[in-house]
Amino acid sequence: MQGATSKTKADFVVKSLPGLDAKAFESLGTMHAGLMPTVQDASTADGTLFFWMLNARSPQKQPKLVFWLNGGPGCSSMDGLMLENGPLIPMKDGTMQLRETGWWLDATVVYVDQPVGTGYSSPGKSGYAHSLAQVADMFYGFVEQYFAVFEDLVGADVYIAGESYAGQYIPYIAHKLLNVPSSAKGVTPKLKIQGLLIGNGWMDPKRQYMSFIPYAVENNLLSGSFLSEAKGYEFQCSTNFDQNTERIKMSHCDAIMNTVLYQSKSMENQNCLNMYDIRLYDEHPEDGCGLLAWPPHVQEMKAYLSRAEVQTAVNVPNTGSNTAWEECDGSVHSALGAVGDPPSYTLFPSLLERVPILLFNGDKDLICNWYGIRDMVDNLQWNGAQGMRDSKKENWYLNNELQGWYQSARNLTFVLKYNASHMMPVDAPEASTDMLNRFIGAVDPVIKAGTLGDVSVPGKEGAEKQVPPASVSIVSSDLPPAPIVTHKPPGGAIVPQRPVTYTVAEVGPVPVAGDFDEIIDTGNSIESGEDSVSYGRGVVFLFLVAASLGLCYFCMFSKTRGRRSAWNFFGNGAKNRQGSTAGHDWMELEATGDEEGTAIDDDELDEMLELEAAGPSSRKRIQ
C-alpha cells in the first residue's frame, strides 16, 4: 500500500530476552515486537505504537488473531503480557519465568501500547489523542501498517480484546474498522473481524456509578454513616446525569467510591480495601487501595521494562542507558481526561448487528463491578429487543468445577467468573483461556471446550459461527449458586463472607442501580443495618449531612501524616512517580499505574484516604 513501512517481519523479530534462558525462550516460538506508525501513509508518520506479538503455540485450521489492549487511559498493554494472559512473569532478581497457560496457546496475540505515548509508544510531533475518535483513527493506521508487514495474517479471524478503560477503546476502534468503505485503499476492508471481548469494562458511567452502593452494601463494605454519606453523593451524581449530557467521567460521582474506600480506612489497622479485589486489603499504608502493589509482579515489570537491554531486545530505540518506563503515562491520561465523547455503550446496538460481543467480569471487582454491567445490559436495546432477561443463565464448568455462569442473547454474551478480580486472568488463567477458546472457536489439545454464548446475528444467513461440540458439562439454571468464599477484614480473623447473590431482592430493600429514579419518585426509604435514609428528604439536607461528615472525617484523619487522594475514577490529576499527571487502565495511574480502568487521583487520596508514608507514584487502576 502507498506509504507502507519499509520494515519487514525480520526487523521485528525478538532474538532473545534478558533474564530468560535459551530453552524457555525457544519454547515460545518466534516473537515479534517493535514500533509501528499510526497513519496509513508511513511517509508522514510521526507517532508510533509499540506492539509485542506471540504466535499461537497450537495453530488452528482457521488462524485466530487477538489484539489485546489495556486501559487507563494511558496504561501499557504489557500488563496483559506480563501480569495476566501472556507467558512472561518478571521476577525480583531480573529474570523471567513462564506461565503454563494463557491466551497465546491457541491464538496469535498482539499486545498493543496505545494510544500514542503509552508504554514504549511515542506521540511524536503530532501529539496525543484528545478524543476516542482520534484513538480509533490512530489504531486504524497502526492496523494498516501491521498487516502490510504481516500479510500472512490478513485472512485470520480477528478479535479485539481488553479490559477496564479498554471498554471505551474497543467499541470505538471496532466501529472505525467495521465502517471503513470497501473501496478504501489498504487491507482493513478485507479483515475478518469476528468478535470483541471486554473484561470488567468501563462502558456505561451512569449505571456503573449507580452500582457502587448496591455492590458495596451486598458485600458488607459500606454501612452506617458512611452509607448515609455515599447515598448523598449518589443523589448528586444521579441529578448531575439528569441535568447534563452523559459523559464518560462525571466528577460529582467519584465521591461515592471515595466513601467506600474511606470506610475501609476507618477500620482498626487503617489499611485500605483493594478496589480491584474486595477479598484483599493493603498490606502497607502506601499500597494505595490496590494501586501500587497489586497484582503480583507489577513492580518487577516496571524495573524489567526500564532496562536498556530489554528495549534493545524488543526493537525499541534507546540511548544505551536505563530509562524509567512507566506503566501508565500521565500525559496520555490528561489528554483524554476531559474527553467529551459519548460513552461506548451507545455504540453497542450497531456493533451487535455486525459482530458478537463477550463481556466478562470477575465477581470480586468493586471498581467495575458486575452489577453495573448487568444493569447496562438490562437497559440496552439491540437487535430488536431489550436486555436478555428472558434468556437462561448457564452454569460454566471446567474440569468438572463450577467457574461461574453466562447468559446470552442476540449476539451478546455476559460471563461472570466466581472468585475473580478486576483482572480475571490473574486469578483464573486456565478458565480465562477456556473462555477465550469457547468464544473464538479455538481447539486446544488439553483444554476441551465447547461453545460459550450466542454468536449469531438474527436474520443474517451464515452468520452463526461453527465451534467444536462441548466436552465439558454445561448445566442450565435460572439462578446458579455462588460458591462461599472467605474474607479477611483488616486486623481480624478469617470469617465467612456472604456470597454475592444474583437477585438483590432476596437480600432486602437495597435497590439495584436503575431503581434509583423510582426511589426518588416514591420517597421510599433505603435501609441497611443501622442506617435508614430517605431520598425524598431533599437535596439540601443531604448536602448538609455530607458536608458535616466530611468535616468530621477530615478532623479525624488529619492527625496522621500526609493524606492521600480519593480514587478519581479515571485518574484525573493523578501524579506519576515523576510527578506528571497520570491515568491507568482500571486505576493504573498511580505509582504503578491504573490497572486499566480507573485511576486514583493522588491529590484526592491525600485529602481523603491519607495513606501513610506514601511515596511518589504514577500508577492507577481501573482496568
| Segment 198-231, tens digit of pLDDT | 999 999 999 999 999 999 999 999 999 999 999 9
Q: Residue 243 is placed in which grid cell?
A: 441535568
506 CB-near residues (< 8 Å, 6+ apart): none
Q: How many CA atoms lie within 13 A of 309 on its CB side?
A: 9
pLDDT score at 577: 27
Give 183's pLDDT tier (boundaries 50, 70, 90): confident
Give 474's pLDDT tier (boundaries 50, 70, 90): very low
The residue to which cell 487520596 is assigned: 605
**Annotated active-site residue in 204, 329, 365, 515:** 365
Please provide the average confidence, as pLDDT, over all residues in the chain: 76
Model confidence, pTM: 0.77
* Peptide bond connecting 469 to the previous residue in cis, omega within 30 degrees of 0: no
Torsions phi, psi for 152 (to 5 deg): -65, -15
> Are the beta carbons of 343 and 247 closer than 8 angstroms?
yes
Alpha carbon 421 to chain centroid, angstroms:
10
Distance CA 368, CA 450 (A): 28
Query: pLDDT tens, 326-366?
Result: 999 999 988 987 768 899 999 999 999 999 999 999 999 99
Beta bridge partners of 11: none
Residue 502 has pLDDT above 80, yes or no: no
> Are the beta carbons of 476 and 392 closer than 8 angstroms?
yes
Give 291's pLDDT tier (boundaries 50, 70, 90): confident
Give span(s): CATH 3.40.50.1820, the chain.
Answer: 9-204+339-440
> Are the beta carbons of 405 and 501 closer than 8 angstroms?
no
Give 323's pLDDT tier (boundaries 50, 70, 90): confident
Kindly tell me the sign of the dihedral angle through the C-alpha atoms of 40, 44, 50, 55.
Answer: positive
Which amino acid is it at 476? Answer: S
Active site annotation includes 164: yes
Mean pLDDT computed over 107-130: 94
**Which of 160-164, 339-343, 393-397, 602-606 has the lowest average pLDDT?**
602-606
Kindly tell me the sign of the dihedral angle through the C-alpha atoms of 425, 429, 430, 434.
Answer: positive
Give 446's pLDDT tier (boundaries 50, 70, 90): low
Active site annotation includes 532: no
Distance CA 316, CA 312 (A): 6
Distance CA 369, CA 230 (A): 17
**Helical ranges in 395-538 per DSSP H:** 424-427, 429-440, 516-522
535 or 195, which is more confident? 195
Give 74's pLDDT tier (boundaries 50, 70, 90): very high
* Cβ-based neighbour number of residue 341 at 10 Å: 18
Buried b (16+ CB within 10 A) or exposed e, 223-240: bebbbbbbbbbbbbbbeb
Distance CA 568, CA 583 (A): 9
Alpha carbon 571 to chain centroid, angstroms:
14
Residue 282 has pLDDT above 80, yes or no: yes
Torsions phi, psi for 157 (to 5 deg): -75, 120
Give 45's pLDDT tier (boundaries 50, 70, 90): low
* Peptide bond connecting 616 to the previous residue in cis, omega within 30 degrees of 0: no
pLDDT score at 271: 87
Residue 606 has pLDDT above 70, yes or no: no
Distance CA 257, CA 473 (A): 38
Residue 621 has pLDDT above 90, yes or no: no
Q: Residue 62 is placed in which grid cell?
A: 482457521
Q: With pLDDT > 90 as the criterion, what percentage of the chain qualifies?
A: 57
Give 5's pLDDT tier (boundaries 50, 70, 90): low
pLDDT score at 608: 39
Q: Which architecture, in CATH terms, is 9-204+339-440?
A: 3-Layer(aba) Sandwich (3.40)
Distance CA 510, CA 222 (A): 12
Q: Which of 425, 410, 403 is nearest to 377 (CA)?
A: 410
Distance CA 148, CA 7 (A): 9
pLDDT score at 268: 66
**Which of 193-197, 311-315, 568-572, 596-600 has the lowest average pLDDT?**
568-572
163 or 58, which is more confident? 163
> Are the beta carbons of 235 and 546 closer than 8 angstroms?
no
Helix (H) or strand (E) holding 378: helix 370-379
**Annotated active-site residue in 76, 77, 122, 164:** 164
Query: pLDDT tens, 237-251?
Result: 999 888 877 888 877
Distance CA 117, CA 563 (A): 30
**Annotated active-site residue in 422, 427, 444, 528:** 422
Active site annotation includes 365: yes
Residue 88 has pLDDT above 60, yes or no: yes
Of the ranges 265-274, 315-324, 578-587, which is most confident? 315-324
Report CA-CA distances (Å) from 420 to 399, 417, 498: 17, 6, 16
Query: pLDDT tens, 392-444?
Result: 999 999 989 999 999 999 999 999 999 999 999 999 999 999 999 999 999 87
Q: What single DSSP character describes residue 563?
A: P
Residue 91 has pLDDT above 70, yes or no: yes
568 CB-near residues (< 8 Å, 6+ apart): 254, 574, 598, 599, 600, 601, 604, 620
Distance CA 407, CA 413 (A): 6
pLDDT score at 337: 75
> Are the beta carbons of 602 and 581 closer than 8 angstroms?
no
β-strands 412-417, 357-362: how paired?
A: parallel
Q: Residue 109 is placed in which grid cell?
A: 496475540
Helices 254-265 and 224-243, axial angle in degrees (round to 10) = 170
